Amino acid sequence: MASRVMVLGVGAFAHSVQSILQEDGAETACYLTRPYGHYGPTVVGQTWSFEEYPSPLPLIEKFQPDLIIPHAVAWAEQPWAVDLVQQGWPIFSPVGDAMRIEISRQESSELCRQYGIPVPAFHHVQNRLEARKLMQDDPRPYVLKNPICSPFSPIHAIICESVTDTLGWIERVDYAEGLFLQEYLGKEEAGHFVFIS
């Protein structure tokens, strides 16, 4: 029997995850979590919109997934999140206190250092003046990110391959949540880390 996977998300993420899983023989479905990016997921499988179904729990109960894959950590802020976890559905995401290390880049980095896991140098600044001062004190290329990993943050990831790139971007970004600057390690860098409980 094929594995059943439900994706919580939209757009290219939901489309590609479902496509790849289907190529490997899985049966997929998608709960569309935002009011945009619906076309891609609808092309590859059954979808339900949060606008029509405010909670995915009845859909999950009906579909009976072997695994649930959320698009982002925002699922944990939904009114139905506690019930999803309490009901024991297998979700590919940290839950409870473990979610803190997925949401906070600083906590994740500190935990890596505590256990001897290499992590790029990073800095957290609150505003443009602090970012300029950092570039005076420690000029290097950085990957600019939002301090709190959320799909609704004003910055997601801006890869600066030079000091000039970094200096240019720190003048343009939105500092509403501050700015996380992570040392750029080159094109071979795989991405940011995630911990799964």
Could you tell me which CATH class the domain 4-94 is placed in? alpha beta
pTM reported for the whole predicted model: 0.69
Residues ≥6 apart with Cβ < 8 Å to 168? 160
Give me the phi and psi of 86, to 5 degrees please: -60, -30
List the CATH code of the domain at 104-183.
Answer: 3.30.1490.20
Phi, psi of 180 (to 5 degrees): -105, 120
- In this predicted model, what pLDDT tens digit does every residue of 70-82 receive, in sequence order? 988 889 889 999 9
Residue 26 vs residue 97, higher pLDDT: 26
Query: What pLDDT was estimated at residue 120?
Result: 84
Whether residue 44 is predicted with pLDDT greater than 50 in this model: the reply is yes
Contacts of 86 (CB under 8 A, 6+ apart): none
Nearest to 72 by CA among 5, 115, 120, 13: 13
Question: Which of 55-59, 100-104, 164-168, 179-183 is least confident?
Answer: 100-104
The beta strands (E) that lie in 93-172 are given as 122-125, 142-145, 157-159
Amino acid at position 12, single letter: A
The percentage of residues in the chain with a pLDDT greater than 90, rounded to a whole number, is 63
The token duo for 131 is 């970012």
Report domain extents, the chain: 4-94, 104-183
